Structure 1
Amino acid sequence: MSELTAYELEREANIARNRALLEELDLKDVVTQLGIPPKPKPANRTRAKPIQPAKTVKRAREVVEAPRRQSARLKNGVVNPNETAAQKRQREEEEKKRRQIEEQERLEAEEKARLAKRPRHQELDLTTLGDTLEESELSSLRSSLQAVTNVPLPKRIADVNAFVFDEDQKNEAEVEELRNKLQKLRIVSRAKVTADRVYSAAYHPDATKDLVFFGDKHGQIGIWDARAPIDEVEDEDGDISADHREGGKHWRLQCHWPASSTSSISSIKFDPVDAHSLFTTSYDGTIRHFSFVSGISQEIFSSEYLITSVDLPVSGHEMWISDAAGGITHLDLREPKDKACWYGLSPAKIGTVSINPTNPHFLLTASNSRVLKVWDSRKLQKLTSATGPYQLSQYTVEDLVYSKKGKGTVRGIFQHGKSVSSAYWDPRGRSIVSTSYDDSIRLWDLDVAKYNSSFGFPSFTPFRGIKHNCQTGKWVTILRAVWNPNPDVFPHFTIGNMSYALDIYSCKGHLIARLKDSRLTATQAVTCSHPSIVERCATGNASGRCVLWAPPDVE
């Protein structure tokens, strides 16, 4: 071993002195003598855990992929240097045939992949709709749907003069009665019903169960039997609390295709004559009808425009459809769909169209042009019968509105500060509620039955304005004030709150309840209520997680 240099010897000595000095110092004793308290450990923050979905093994969906390209050198292999001219010609012919076959297979795979991304216009059975569901899940879904088809459940409407009082005390008494019922609502069930953001919802009218339908961003319908018996599922540690377990049972059906944002389900409506079937509208410009009895989904209408909403009168024979091009379409379900007539009513998107339930010729439209309008559909349809075309531009409709013949086509107009995101008639056809990006909810009270013969409403000014944050941004579904469809109770509506709450207001503008829960960490943007049970509400958020609000004793 070579001898150390003078520098290395001095370095080793310095290291030894420093080590001895550190051993002599007792830093813990010094801190104690100075009275410095030890640094406290940070407290563990308890955060609300998301609900845990049931662990089920899903069938793998078939993925169409085009064959990958390979190196020509690897495909051709090693060429025999001693091959004859005849062998070379034979080899080249075989390679040519192989390349032709591979090219044909590649083109077929690409065409199949292209077709898989296009909208599906054919009839779809339940197996196709639920292609990710197991046979046992499809069987339980069929059973749940069949269970609500035993009794006909037509849509009910209220009398136009229901809950109309001269004295304010009677209105306050009705509000107080509602407040006593709805303030008791609590979260009794939670589940991740859809895979993506919830865009729309509808509550089935069957009183024996809580069956809610949610439409999501990628064309999927989530069917939630919110109080069905829970399957016991444990996490990896073998333990899962009741607060974080999924509630009820849910199934997902891919009704609109492709499964992308171009197929978002903008609205869901039950057939008003028979609630055993469902209408869904999509951004892909199609409307589909799904029957609970047959399990078949069929397309009943298609448009070149993005469809935003649909509404049907109590008769159920026709529908009015709004779109992003600023028009509404009248479709008679008893006629071929090519007989549908399109009316250009606005220079900007019409977000919602609502039919007055007691006077179905009055249509309510909410537009991004900041205008809310009430139309008389009888005047619009006279224009069609006179001119004959099935597509009327905005200029044609405006010419009618401002002509002597078209007087009374528009019964009421109100200009909002910003875009009108929604407007709906209540079950009596008497009250209107609108929401707008100017952060306000507005309420109207009209006796429209008195105005059937007049050319316009004597006054069309909201009697009440409520400040409400409607700035949802890009990632949260637009907030809409939705009436409770139950005709037996004092009219009231629900709307999501950006503070993770559910707000319930009366038709007079009273705040009945503001429902909150510490487990909610997202805006409950989409809301709906049970058509026959007062103490039932359902909400959905941007992650597809949904909540059932009910009295605690039904949990």
Structure 2
Amino acid sequence: MPAKSQYELDREANIAKNRALFEDLGLKQTLESLGTSSAKPIKPAAKPVPEKRLKRERVDEPTAPRRASRRLQKKQGGDFEETEEEKKLREEEEVKEEEARKEAEEKSRLAKRPRHDTLNFNTLAESNSPEDLSSLSTIMKNVVQCSRRVADSEAFVYKEDAEKQEKREVQGIREKVQNLKVVSRAKVVQDRIYCSAYHPELTKDLLFFGDKAGMLGIWDARAPQDENEVDGDITPQSREGGKYWRLQVHWPATSKSSISCVKVDPIDSHNVYTSAYDCSVRSVSFVSGVSNELYSNDDKILLTSFDLPPSGQEMWISDTAGGVTHLDLRETKSKARRYGLSDNKIGTVSVNPTRNHFLVTASNSRVVKIWDARKLDAMPISLLDDAAQVEATEEVDNSTPRRSVLDFDSDVVNQYNETSKGKGTMRAEFQHGKSASSAYWDARGRQIVSTSYDDRIRLWDISSPTFKIDGEFPNLKPFSQIRHNCQTGRWLTILRAQWSTNPDVFPYFSVGNMNHSLDLYSCKGELITQLTDPTMVSAVQAVTCTHPSLVERAASGNASGRVNLWAPEGLKDEQE
């Protein structure tokens, strides 16, 4: 056995000394726990076996409220004020939700309503409308039948003291219109108003409005209201005047069916025409109480406007693909011819009322153009491709009816315009700074007014000898350019200057103003008056029209579907 080291000897001595001390103190348990260096090491105790953990049932505990924007908290009833940005976002969201709701409702109605059929007023009327359709038919049947009056192309053209004579005419109009007030107002349609038309009836103020959802509103603005409709608690500013009816002429009731143009038939004042983004043109007869489809295209090209000459026998229709379609109302729609007159959307087409073969178009290509319709109609089908020629030949031979409209695209039109036979098809053009929103002939067929996004209203005066030129018109430049804010943005209808069709007065036009007024200008570019009524009007009057025979009448509509009749204030007292 090896000898122990000094360290081990000292350690054992200390243990023995401590043992003797613990025995003297009687601490046997402590003594037993002490061991010597030779004692075996104590084995560690075995680890306990873990118990099987039971699955606890989930208990729903109240959670802290989630964070939300102030806009949502206010929507849920919280007391928070919206910022302008939050308000704008909320309104946009509400508009989207409303459109989605309407679209869902219309899907269920589409199956029950054949799109191209002849429909009666009971089908077109709102299912929950309180208006009585029989009263509408009675009113319209009692309207005196009248046709559109044609002005003299040389009317109000003075050879002596022209400036003095023109100022006298303008002053005469100003005296009649400068004090006009809102004598009646109503929410005739539910959505943004896109177009309007004033009926020529003299004993009534009968107006038509087309809205964003394909609804046609008919308003008898000064009709007396029933006693049960008059509420004494409603303020004059909120009270609705006259009577109105609503017909869902185009469907579905969404922005896909917006009525882009409405006009009274120039030879039958009991009939109204409408065009819409559902790619169709319809007529509405208030005598028979039915709506018929006059035209539709299979290419899903949206229709933007249309116009008719005073004879009422033909129609020119513009579309978003840059085309203008000629439709003879005495023939079937299969014989229509379409001409590509622009590479961009054509917003308006206007027929010269005294020289019906001249058209003016305004397009997003920034150009206003004058066309000779005689040259367009004479365009040979040999310019078309082989398939289109075969189709046209089959129709001429009466073997099978033509299936679609003959389409002369812009390349064909330009090619034809450069030939000796087609020379003068396009008579003149003028480039604007930005998109040309509209262009119209006046009642005499010698002046044009255009509006553009470059914030200008332009006026042209074309003398009668110029129309006799066989080729292009020389030096077509506007004689007047009026600064006018046309930046309507997304939520307002585009501003369009509309001529008065009254042939008895010096030509003037109306146009909406972003400052909530209705502006009237003479054909010389002079401001006649700005109609305002702050107590009744607090929105942009984007859509305007004037009475075809009475100078003291004008109407306007805004983006909410509310319309106003502007007339002498005395008429308001007569109603009350």
TM range (shorter): 0.7 to 0.9
C-alpha distance after superposition, 1:290-330 (max 9, x if no partner): 11110100101001310000001111111100000000000
Q: TM-score, normalised by structure 1?
A: 0.77
* 1:456 maps to 2:472: yes
C-alpha distance in structure 2 between counterparts of 1:199 and 1:232, whole Å: 32
**1:193 aligned residue (188, 196, 201):** 188
Aligned to 1:408: 424
Q: TM-score, normalised by structure 2?
A: 0.75
**Equivalences for residues 310-329 of structure 1 within 5 A:** 310-329=306-325
C-alpha distance after superposition, 1:162-203 (max 9, x if no partner): 011232000001011111111021110010000100000000
Q: What amino acid sits opposite 2:238 in the alignment?
A: H
* 1:538 maps to 2:555: yes
**Equivalences for residues 268-417 of structure 1 within 5 A:** 268-303=262-297, 304=299, 305-384=301-380, 387=383, 390-417=406-433
Aligned to 2:167: 172
C-alpha distance after superposition, 1:379-418 (max 9, x if no partner): 1111146646511111000111122322111111100000
Structure 1 residues 419 and 547 mapped into 2: Cα distance closer, same or farther (>3 Å)? same
* 1:447 maps to 2:440: no
Aligned residues of 2:466 and 2:473 also touching (Cα < 8 A): no
Deviates more, 1:270-279 or 1:209-218: 270-279
Structure 1 residues 369 and 116 mapped into 2: Cα distance closer, same or farther (>3 Å)? same
User: What secondary structure, in the 3-state scheme, does the structure 2 residue paired with 1:176 have?
Assistant: helix
Give the superposition deviation at 1:420. Answer: 0.3
C-alpha distance after superposition, 1:254-303 (max 9, x if no partner): 00010000000000011111111011000010000111110100101001
Give the superposition deviation at 1:145. Answer: 1.5
Give the superposition deviation at 1:441. Answer: 0.1
Structure 1 residues 452 and 194 mapped into 2: Cα distance closer, same or farther (>3 Å)? same
Structure 1 residues 317 and 532 mapped into 2: Cα distance closer, same or farther (>3 Å)? same
Aligned residues of 1:119 and 1:257 also touching (Cα < 8 A): no
Q: What amino acid sits opposite 1:158 in the alignment?
A: A
Aligned residues of 1:309 and 1:351 also touching (Cα < 8 A): yes
Aligned residues of 1:226 and 1:548 also touching (Cα < 8 A): yes
Aligned residues of 2:103 and 2:253 also touching (Cα < 8 A): no
C-alpha distance in structure 1 between counterparts of 2:338 and 2:551, whole Å: 38
Aligned to 1:508: 524
C-alpha distance in structure 2 between counterparts of 1:64 and 1:349, whole Å: 26
Structure 1 residues 117 and 375 mapped into 2: Cα distance closer, same or farther (>3 Å)? farther
Q: What amino acid sits opposite 2:124 in the alignment?
A: L
C-alpha distance in structure 2 between counterparts of 1:443 and 1:134, whole Å: 44
* 1:426 maps to 2:422: no
Aligned residues of 2:103 and 2:252 also touching (Cα < 8 A): no
C-alpha distance after superposition, 1:453-495 (max 9, x if no partner): 4212122100000000000000000000000111101000000
Structure 1 vs Structure 2: percent identity of aligned residues? 57
Structure 1 residues 134 and 543 mapped into 2: Cα distance closer, same or farther (>3 Å)? closer
**Equivalences for residues 73-112 of structure 1 within 5 A:** none
Aligned to 1:155: 148
Give the superposition deviation at 1:336. Answer: 1.2
Larger radius of gyration: 2
User: What secondary structure, in the 3-state scheme, does the structure 2 residue paired with 1:243 have?
Assistant: coil
Aligned residues of 2:131 and 2:245 also touching (Cα < 8 A): no
Structure 1 residues 235 and 160 mapped into 2: Cα distance closer, same or farther (>3 Å)? closer
Q: What amino acid sits opposite 1:244 in the alignment?
A: S
Aligned residues of 1:411 and 1:456 also touching (Cα < 8 A): yes
Structure 1 residues 464 and 525 mapped into 2: Cα distance closer, same or farther (>3 Å)? same
Structure 1 residues 448 and 308 mapped into 2: Cα distance closer, same or farther (>3 Å)? farther
Structure 2 residue runs without a partner (length 5+): 1-101, 384-388, 393-405
C-alpha distance after superposition, 1:334-374 (max 9, x if no partner): 11101100101101000000000010100000000000000
Deviates more, 1:155-164 or 1:125-134: 125-134
Give the superposition deviation at 1:449. Answer: 5.1
Aligned to 2:488: 472
User: What secondary structure, in the 3-state scheme, does the structure 1 residue paired with 2:556 have?
Assistant: strand
Give the superposition deviation at 1:422. Answer: 0.2
Q: What amino acid sits opposite 2:496 in the alignment?
A: R
Aligned to 1:209: 204
User: What secondary structure, in the 3-state scheme, does the structure 2 residue paired with 1:200 have?
Assistant: strand
C-alpha distance in structure 1 between counterparts of 2:104 and 2:154, whole Å: 62
Structure 1 residues 317 and 402 mapped into 2: Cα distance closer, same or farther (>3 Å)? same
Q: What amino acid sits opposite 1:476 in the alignment?
A: L
Q: What amino acid sits opposite 1:420 in the alignment?
A: A
Aligned residues of 1:117 and 1:257 also touching (Cα < 8 A): no
Aligned residues of 1:198 and 1:215 also touching (Cα < 8 A): yes
Aligned residues of 2:342 and 2:410 also touching (Cα < 8 A): yes
Deviates more, 1:517-526 or 1:220-229: 517-526
Structure 1 residues 386 and 357 mapped into 2: Cα distance closer, same or farther (>3 Å)? farther
**How large is the RMSD of aligned CA atoms in angstroms?**
2.1
Structure 1 residues 490 and 64 mapped into 2: Cα distance closer, same or farther (>3 Å)? closer
User: What secondary structure, in the 3-state scheme, does the structure 2 residue paired with 1:278 have?
Assistant: strand
Q: What amino acid sits opposite 1:415 in the alignment?
A: Q
Structure 1 residues 459 and 227 mapped into 2: Cα distance closer, same or farther (>3 Å)? same
Aligned to 1:123: 118
C-alpha distance in structure 2 between counterparts of 1:65 and 1:537, whole Å: 37
Aligned to 2:253: 259
C-alpha distance after superposition, 1:207-262 (max 9, x if no partner): 010000000000000100000002346799x6123332101011111000100000
Q: What amino acid sits opposite 2:516 in the alignment?
A: Y
User: What secondary structure, in the 3-state scheme, does the structure 1 residue paired with 2:140 have?
Assistant: helix
C-alpha distance in structure 1 between counterparts of 2:225 and 2:126, whole Å: 23
Structure 1 residues 526 and 136 mapped into 2: Cα distance closer, same or farther (>3 Å)? closer
